[in-house]
Amino acid sequence: MTEQIRIIEAKDHVDEEVRIGAWLTDKRSSGKISFLQLRDGSAFFQGVVVKSNVSEEIFQTAKELRQETSMWITGVIHEDSRSHFGYEIEVSNIEVIGESSDYPITPKEHGIEFLLDHRHLWLRSSRQFAIQQIRNEMIRATYEFFNNEGFIKMDAPILTGSAPEGTTELFETDYFDHPAYLSQSGQLYAEAGAMAYGKVFTFGPTFRAEKSKTRRHLTEFWMIEPEMAFTHQDQSLEVQERYIAFLVQSVIDHCEYDLKLLDRDIDQLKKYTKLPFPRISYDEAIEMLQKADFDVKWGDDFGSPEETYISDQFEQPVFILNYPKSIKPFYMKPAEDRDDVYVCADLLAPEGYGEIIGGSERETDYDALKARIEAAGLDLNEYEWYLDLRKYGSVPHSGFGLGLERAVTWICQLDHLREAIPFPRMINRLKP
């Protein structure tokens, strides 16, 4: 019996006859030979159909195959040093499974809205394949890193009554006659987890009703949020930089094929595995921007031109420490030596990709936290449980959130976050 394999396993079957379930992505034919570009979800490679080696009927079938037809291919695997994949199959038989005609995404250029309308099919392209492989590797490496460091994965709820990141960007829904919100962040629950289990991380979808249409904002994105008890901000920064370096190294180690499909320069990525990452204060960042003639003053938040300028001054990702209180959320711990900034940091990615991590040390004092919840105009009833964490054995603790799509966009060097998630949700897009 001929063994059924996936394309990715071809290297273990050189000179053997195998059977592969595949789709056709493209085709070139002459009178004597057809080259079939095949994909099976594990990789892409070429099938060669030589007229003199197969029946007239098979050669005719090969010539008539249309893009995205599915089929069983039988043939012998050969090395193919000219191709990026390194192997090809010399086809002896083709059995069509599912016909395909007028496939909308042809090898020519298409506009972005057309591609997004056909996202369910666009995912099949080699570029989208590579991005999803890298995203998957980053998720796998995240679990490996945090498990190795003694964290447990803790799932935070998606339906909540709280609004940790501000009330202007909430998706509200009706929960049996009470208002509920789709979670903006799992952090408050992760803090409860840290008090129970020491070191936890959440990983789940988070939602922001962002009205802005930018390359960096989705309305639904996935966030990894570690939270650590008995941990100050400087220790948290060390975890953050080791985590980022680990993610980059894991992609370099396991996604060489995908990085090549994306033309991503591996030597460039290697720079991001060198530690430590530089740290500058918000004050220094403002000075740096003012010297470069940006129209900013102390207290302003940074937009993407400002973040790009700052990160361009460094070879590695850079931490910006101690932002003004007025532009950050209520739960952060104020600095000890001055009352206008928090003990917090954002990590900016290089190459103009902007903020990928936001994090801080957390307020541990019951009265101070309660006052800030009230000052933020939030309903105290919804935060009683959160305040309890400061009532029963409050300890210094810190944490951070990495936006997965921001990190994928940077590591894959994409133009826009919309390609970093299988089905992007943006202000004007809920379909497919």
Binding site for Mg ion (CB under 5 A): 358
Binding mask 218-247 for ligand 4AD (x = CB under 6 A): x--x-x-x----------------------
177: exposed, middle or buried (Cβ count in 10 Å: 0-12, 13-18, 19+): exposed
Which of 87/353 has CB closer to ligand 4AD? 353
Minimum distance from CB of 284 to Mg ion (Å)? Answer: 19
Closer by beta carbon to Mg ion, 334 or else 358: 358
How far CA 261 is from CA of 44, 85, 196, 358, in Å, comes to: 10, 10, 44, 31
Q: Choose among ligand 4AD, Mg ion, none what residue 218 binds, the Cβ cut-off being 5 to 8 Å by kind.
A: ligand 4AD
Q: Does 164 bind ligand 4AD (CB under 6 A)?
A: yes
Q: How far is the CA of 324 from the CAs of 112, 382, 402, in angstroms?
A: 38, 26, 21
| C-alpha distances in Å from residue 57, one per residue of 36, 63, 183 | 16, 10, 58
Counting contacts by CB under 6 A, is residue 356 touching ligand 4AD? yes
48, burial (CB in 10 Å: exposed 0-12, middle 13-18, buried 19+): middle
The CA distance from 338 to 329, in Å, is 17
Closest CA to 280 of 336, 245, 311, 319: 319
Using CB under 6 A as the binding rule, whether residue 358 contacts ligand 4AD is answered as: yes
Residue 151 contacts ligand 4AD per CB under 6 A: no
Q: Residue 372 interacts with ligand 4AD (CB under 6 A)?
A: no
Taking 3-state DSSP, the helix, strand and coil percentages for the chain, each rounded to the nearest 5, stand at 35, 30, 35
Q: How far apart are the first and last CA of the chain?
A: 41
Asked if residue 403 binds ligand 4AD (CB under 6 A), the reply is yes
Kindly tell me which of 14 and 327 has the beta carbon lying closer to Mg ion.
327
The residue among 75 and 317 lying less far from ligand 4AD, judged by its C-beta, is: 317
* 307 is a site residue for ligand 4AD (CB under 6 A): no
Q: Which does 241 bind (CB under 5 to 8 A by kind): Mg ion, ligand 4AD, none?
A: none
Cα distances from 71 to residues 8, 13, 62, 68, in angstroms, run: 17, 20, 11, 9
Nearer of residues 5 and 357 to ligand 4AD, judged by Cβ: 357
Identify which of 14, 15, 35 has the alpha carbon closest to the alpha carbon of residue 25.
35
**By CB under 6 A, what part of segment 373-402 binds ligand 4AD?**
399-401
Instruction: Give whichever of 59 and 221 is closer to ligand 4AD, judged by the CB atom.
Output: 221
- Residue 345 and residue 232: Cα distance in Å, rounded? 12
- Report the residue number, 221 or 330, with the smaller CB distance to ligand 4AD: 221
- At closest approach, how far in Å is the CB of 295 from Mg ion? 22
Segments of 344-407 assigned E as strands? 344-349, 354-361, 397-403
184-223 residues in contact with ligand 4AD (CB under 6 A) are 185, 187, 208, 210, 217-218, 221, 223
Which of ligand 4AD, Mg ion, none sits in contact with 185, Cβ below 5 to 8 A by type? Answer: ligand 4AD
Tell me whether strands 397-403 and 354-361 are parallel, antiparallel or unpaired.
antiparallel
Which residue ranges make up the site for ligand 4AD (CB under 6 A)? 164-165, 185, 187, 208, 210, 217-218, 221, 223, 225, 355-359, 399-401, 403, 405-406, 417
